[in-house]
Amino acid sequence: MKKLGCIFKKFSCFVAVRDNFPGPAHELIKAWQNEHQAVHIIDFNVPLGTDDRTVSLIAQGLMWEDGWTEVGTKHHVVEDLTVEKPVFGENDDVAFGARVS
């Protein structure tokens, strides 16, 4: 992802209430993919090169902002798992009249 001349990386924070999700934190991803109702996701972007500690702190801040706390929850932060398709305007090499999708 590129914004205003800066390249960003997308991360996802998977979070659930401990009592509603008995598995380990790393299984939150698969549970979310299987549409487990107790698992929520928070997507966010950080500038390329941001260290892991800062990514973790940003995730914790976003969880707090959304009403989640460290007590009674479990979470797992990963680099984005989705593959984004370029949208109109992101690909400078598209010739006039060419298909973009």
Q: Look at residue 43 and tell me if it is in a domain.
A: yes
Q: Look at residue 97 and tell me if it is in a domain.
A: no
Six token digits for residue 37: 């109702």
Q: Look at residue 45 and tell me if it is in a domain.
A: yes
Q: Look at residue 85 and tell me if it is in a domain.
A: no
Q: Look at residue 55 and tell me if it is in a domain.
A: yes
- Supply the range of the domain harboring residue 58: 2-79
pTM exceeds cut of 0.85? no
Q: Look at residue 99 and tell me if it is in a domain.
A: no
| Contact between 13 and 62 (Cβ < 8 Å) | yes
Q: Look at residue 40 and tell me if it is in a domain.
A: yes
Whole-angstrom distance, CA of residue 18 vs CA of residue 56? 19
- The total number of structural domains in the chain stands at 1
Per-residue pLDDT of the chain (101 residues; tens, 9 = 90+): 555 667 999 999 999 999 999 889 999 999 999 999 999 999 999 999 999 999 999 999 999 999 998 889 999 999 987 655 555 555 455 554 545 44
- CATH label of the domain that carries residue 49: 3.30.1280
